Amino acid sequence: MEIADAARIIMQGGVVAFPTETVYGLGADATNPQAVHRIFEAKGRPSDNPLIVHVSCKGMASSVAEISSDAELLIDRFWPGPLTLILPKKQSVPEEVTAGLASVGIRMPSHPIALDLIRLSGVPIAAPSANRSGRPSPTTAGHVRSDFPHIPIIDGGPCKHGVESTVVRLGPLPAILRQGAIPIEQIREFLPRIMPSQYSDGKPESPGMKYLHYAPVAPLILFRHDKISSMKAFLKRNESATVLCPSEHAGEFPGHAIVPLGSGPEDIAHNLYSALRTEHKGDILVCLGIPPAGIGAAVMDRLERAARETR
């Protein structure tokens, strides 16, 4: 679908799927509660899980949230791009978007199609990832179509990063609520006191993080990157297992069907959700992880959420 037609649907209160630099989003007018409700309905998303609001300029950002000086710093460095900031919300954002929270997640995507769509629609666009709840996020238009055969899609080809935006909560104790395409190491350069989110009672601050996510159809057993010998021993007992692994290890598991994930953390992030969406032969998937540094931390976070077990 053309961007202008999609913008018309957004203005009329409808829902469209569009590409971003991270994953495809399922968007609607963030200022229209009925339109936002249609997103929750389509996804089967629990109503206590808030949506990210996508903006096309700083002016639009300050129409939806209170921008603090720390926020300004990160915005100037990382926008447009895969950084979502959790900030105090303004009145223009209906509570359907934020699931009743007083804060709102906002980001300015860098994908030209996403930016054009927001500009042409003239409103901020609320959009979660365009997958049915619980499924891996979509990184191609084909992934979106397989989850939502009847929703209009702007096809922008495969998404660049392949994992979602990094979610940062600002305030006196800034924290990373979700690892993502921008590594924590890069954010620390600008905000040295930022920490990974701490939650003592097991209740994550970002409501989305408590749900089982990204799960492929067959059960997945994940081995950390330094557990390759126990993985080999496990595979001897599970001959029909399909193996997902960094491409340089593809030759080390003879007799098994192999899904190469690519080389290096960026490439593996880019390919990850396609690999998790592939229908594999065999009744069990076994995956070799990567070091949790840089974007590798987001890759391992998603694999751990997709896995039945991590060893």
- For the chain, the distance separating the N- and C-terminal CA atoms, rounded to the nearest angstrom, is 44
How near is the Cβ of 104 to ligand TXA at its closest, in Å?
5
Determine if residue 33 is left, alpha or beta; phi over 0 gives left, psi from -120 to 50 gives alpha, anything else beta.
alpha
The answer to whether 22 contacts ligand TXA (rule: CB under 6 A) is: yes
Number of residues that bind ligand TXA (CB under 6 A): 29
174 contacts which partner out of ligand TXA, Mg ion, none, CB within 5 to 8 A by kind?
A: none
Question: Which residues 118-157 are close enough to bind ligand TXA by CB under 6 A?
Answer: 127-129
Asked if residues 114 and 7 have their Cβ atoms less than 8 Å apart, the reply is no
- Selected binder of ligand TXA within 83, 177, 184, 222 (CB under 6 A): 177
Least Cβ distance, residue 256 to ligand TXA (angstroms): 32
The 125-164 site mask, x for binding Mg ion (CB under 5 A), equals ----x-----------------------------------
Q: Is 288 exposed, middle or buried (0-12, 13-18, 19+ CB in 10 A)?
A: buried
According to the binding rule CB under 6 A, does residue 302 interact with ligand TXA?
A: no
Spell out the residues 6+ positions from residue 218 whose beta carbon is closer than 8 angstroms to its own. Answer: 242, 280, 282, 283, 284, 285
Q: Which residue has the tokens 């000086």?
A: 69
- From candidates 31, 32, 56, 103, binder to ligand TXA by CB under 6 A: 103
Question: 117 or 243, CB closer to ligand TXA?
Answer: 117
Among positions 155-174, residues that touch ligand TXA (CB under 6 A) are: 164-165, 167
Contacts to Mg ion by CB under 5 A: 129
